[in-house]
Homo-oligomer: A and B are copies of this chain.
């Protein structure tokens, strides 16, 4: 069998090996049912058990209060970009958006079709390399939207922005969900495409407060109303059953790791090693502002595109895959989500050290 390599992909991304091994078995027969997990009716007893476990683990790991629903939808975070304003922003209302990267910009674009958008802050002036400290909220926003981690630029909010009482805070947490504890009660909606920290692409986790579900109009398409999915327990139509299954397995693994506080420590340790090295390196530099650096995506450059390319080629040849940075930033990006092993970080550091010595001037 082919040896597995270190996969620094920004998403879809590395998953825990025990989850994949369990999935191998369940593809042929889910438990002792004699029917594979892909083949089970979403209404079958066996799949309902899978579904209920996944939901229960989401609730348990994030201590989700009773007045929130957990939905498993399709269409990625990109579909939430329009579903949120379609349901929560009326033509004469204003929604506030904190713009800290490409994804927040896309979210703004979709919201503008439905109502007014106030860009409460933006770090575009410095290629999104930092999280703005100053946020100018509008008088009475329908909601405040932010992106907790910016995959491309390697920045992350240390804590959620402060909003006035009664204003729903909405977070696209696609790239750092469940990488650290979060206090759901501070949010109206937290949503995330699963393909970074939760499972495969094709399933979107939406944690939404009950009153927001009911606020949406009833004259929009049935599939685009949160109430449809809330009332039907995400089974108004056939849900992405395998995605939900894998997400449940990943959360089971996460619970075994000790839950969100424990995984945060591991993530701090992994990212800490890389940032620590970058701080003292004479060749490599981190691109994100020190206080805003992401625990999930570590972006760095040598300042010489040719040298970057050489490093990436060398790393790839040594079994460190997916290190090429996004074209908006260039250089390298090490995506080290929950499931990425610390041994892979150590291997990367070894490569960086060696490369630096070879290119010491």
Give the B-binding residues of A (Cβ under 8 A): 1-5, 7, 9-15, 17, 20-21, 23-25, 27-29, 31-36, 38-42, 44, 74-79, 81-82, 86, 106, 109-110, 113, 193, 195, 199-203, 219-224, 236-243, 246, 319, 321-322
A182 to chain B, nearest CB (A): 22
Cross-chain contact B39 with A9 (CB below 8 angstroms) = yes
A61, B219: Cα distance in complex, Å = 40
- When all copies of this chain in the complex are counted, the total is 2
Q: Which residue of B lies closest to A32 (CB)?
A: B2
Q: Is the interface of A mostly helix, strand, loop or mixed?
A: loop
User: Given known contacts A42-B12, A44-B9, A321-B35, is B29 in contact with A201 (CB within 8 Å)?
Assistant: no
A164, B81: Cα distance in complex, Å = 39
7 additional A-B residue pairs with CB within 8 Å, beyond A5-B35, A14-B39: A1-B25, A2-B28, A2-B32, A75-B79, A82-B221, A201-B238, A202-B202
Cross-chain contact A222 with B4 (CB below 8 angstroms) = no
Cross-chain contact A113 with B74 (CB below 8 angstroms) = no
7 of the cross-chain contacts (CB-CB < 8 Å) are: A2-B29, A20-B38, A34-B321, A74-B79, A76-B238, A86-B221, A106-B222
A7 to chain B, nearest CB (A): 5
A17, B219: Cα distance in complex, Å = 44
Cross-chain contact A38 with B12 (CB below 8 angstroms) = yes
Cross-chain contact A39 with B23 (CB below 8 angstroms) = no
A121, B240: Cα distance in complex, Å = 33
Q: Which residue of B lies closest to A236 (CB)?
A: B78
User: Given known contacts A20-B36, A35-B5, is B75 in contact with A223 (CB within 8 Å)?
Assistant: yes
Q: Which residue of B lies closest to A21 (CB)?
A: B28
A346, B214: Cα distance in complex, Å = 51
Q: A4 — which chain B residues lie within 8 A by C-beta?
A: 28-29, 34-36
Cross-chain contact B238 with A195 (CB below 8 angstroms) = yes
Q: A82 — which chain B residues lie within 8 A by C-beta?
A: 221-224
Q: Which residue of B lies closest to A202 (CB)?
A: B240
Q: Which residue of B lies closest to A220 (CB)?
A: B113
Cross-chain contact A2 with B243 (CB below 8 angstroms) = no
A202 partner, pick from B13, B35, B106, B241, beta carbons under 8 A: B241
Q: A23 — which chain B residues lie within 8 A by C-beta?
A: 27
Cross-chain contact A36 with B9 (CB below 8 angstroms) = no
Cross-chain contact A5 with B34 (CB below 8 angstroms) = yes
Q: Which residue of B lies closest to A13 (CB)?
A: B39
